[in-house]
Amino acid sequence: MPEKQIAKFSVTHLQVLDEKGKVDAALEPDLGQEQAVEMYRWMRLARTLDERMLKLQRQGRLGTFPPCTGHEAVSIPVGLAMKKGDWFAGAFRELGTRLVRGEPLTNTLHYYNGWEEGNILPDADLRILPTSVVIGCQIEHAAGLAYAAKYRGTDEAVVTFIGDGGTSEGSFHEGLNFAAVWKAPMVAIVQNNQWAISIPRETQTASETLAQKGIAYGIPVIQVDGNDPLAVWVAVNEALDRARAGDGPTLIEAVTYRLMMHTTADDPTKYRQSADEEAAWAKEPLIRTRKWLANKGWWDDAREEKLLAECKEQVDAAVEEFETPVERAHDESFRHVYGTEHAVIREQHEDFLANQEREGQRG
């Protein structure tokens, strides 16, 4: 075999529902009205909360946060496809998945207002990991979680997310390689929203697609239209089935767009054209999902109005709860350095309380 092709690969792009709301009947998943509507409701709720958070932030009622608007067609179907017992090891722009998986809206608000309380789940069995701020780490965690699921012989799967920027990190590489070698039940979703703060996709990597990065690990890959919830649904279900069947991890690239600023501290006018943003808005996921539902006869303006009101109500309630004053002990950090407070920490804890006391009395 002097010169011989020994391996061939390809990347497939999947779109089921196009920008105009037209669906490819051959590929359309059989969601059924109830599930289809549920999906849209969650998308709308995530959007509503995201928009409210931006207002709160601008009013100084919330800290810096990364808006998720435009990412709903990825995060929501993924969350819905997961089962109880599955782990979610997210990045930081998957508000939708968090909500669908059962995290209270207030968690996100508390988290972005500077309180660890936003990481504490009402029930640890929800298996939603805290946001992984240091980009890439979560892929390695997911590999370990997936190993544990396999080790225990459960059919639990692990879903992890990363951005286009995050694919450049070594941890992306190491985590996917581990999961692939272990044939561990993991689904990794690259949420390619074209930007990593100011760095466009082309400056991030010279590869034509991000999906093809999975070829390095010998795992199935697919690129989907990330503004198309049906394509995401199909791809993630296939991947989860594969994971549960013991066939190892899958890499899904979901192509979408970061419609908003990177975080509320960022100013995109420094580095991108508003024309590009406008073009991206034309492809955004909620409108097309709504059109699809309407074409099916499952949706109309009245229902939309009702949904908007419901979402607003839910968000209002969450914000009210979030803003209800609570006494939060400031010495929590001392209690959670270790399982038992070490003598030296205890001394410092006492010192801290004395300082609090003194400064409180004077202030």
Window 157-176: residues binding a second copy (CB under 8 A): 168-174
Q: Give strand pairing partners of 160.
A: 89, 188
Rounded to the nearest angstrom, the gap between the alpha carbon of residue 226 and the centroid of all alpha carbons in its chain is 12
By C-beta, is 251 or 319 nearer to ligand TPP? 251
Per CB under 8 A, does 140 bind other proteins? yes
What does residue 235 show for φ and ψ, rounded to 5 degrees?
-65, -45
Between the alpha carbon of residue 34 and those of residues 38, 77, 204, 226, 276, the distances in Å are: 6, 14, 40, 22, 35
**Is 262 labeled as catalytic in the residue annotation?**
yes
Torsion, Cα of 188, 192, 198, 203 (10° steps): 90
**Tokens describing residue 284:** 């955004």
Please choose, from the candidates 259, 242, 249, 183, the residue with its C-alpha nearest in 3D space to the C-alpha of residue 213: 249
Per CB under 8 A, does 134 bind a second copy? no
Question: For residues 284 and 19, what is the distance between their CA atoms, to the nearest angstrom?
Answer: 8
Taking residue 317's Cβ as centre, other Cβ atoms within 10 Å add up to: 12
Window 192-231: residues binding Mg ion (CB under 5 A): 193, 195-196
Find which of ligand TPP, Mg ion, a second copy, none residue 304 binds, CB within 5 to 8 Å per kind. none
Window 237-296: residues binding ligand TPP (CB under 6 A): 258, 262
Write the binding mask 135 to 164 for Mg ion: x where contact by CB under 5 A, - elsewhere.
----------------------------xx
Total site size for other proteins, rule CB under 8 A:
81
Per CB under 8 A, does 245 bind a second copy? no
- In the list 11, 37, 54, 129, the residue contacting other proteins (rule: CB under 8 A) is 129
Window 86-105: residues binding other proteins (CB under 8 A): 87, 89
- Identify the residue whose tokens are 């082309």: 202
Question: For residues 150 and 147, what is the distance between their CA atoms, to the nearest angstrom?
Answer: 5
Find which of ligand TPP, other proteins, Mg ion, none residue 309 binds, CB within 5 to 8 Å per kind. none
Are 36 and 89 contacting, i.e. CB atoms less than 8 angstroms apart?
no
User: Which member of 271, 328, 342, 358 is catalytic?
Assistant: 271
Per CB under 8 A, does 208 bind a second copy? yes
Question: For residues 18 and 216, what is the distance between their CA atoms, to the nearest angstrom?
Answer: 30
**Is 47 labeled as catalytic in the residue annotation?**
no
C-alpha distance across the termini of the chain, in Å: 82
- In the list 135, 179, 252, 280, the residue contacting ligand TPP (rule: CB under 6 A) is 135
**Is 271 labeled as catalytic in the residue annotation?**
yes
- In the list 124, 134, 206, 343, the residue contacting a second copy (rule: CB under 8 A) is 206
Active-site residue set: 258, 262, 271
Residues that bind Mg ion (CB under 5 A): 163-164, 193, 195-196
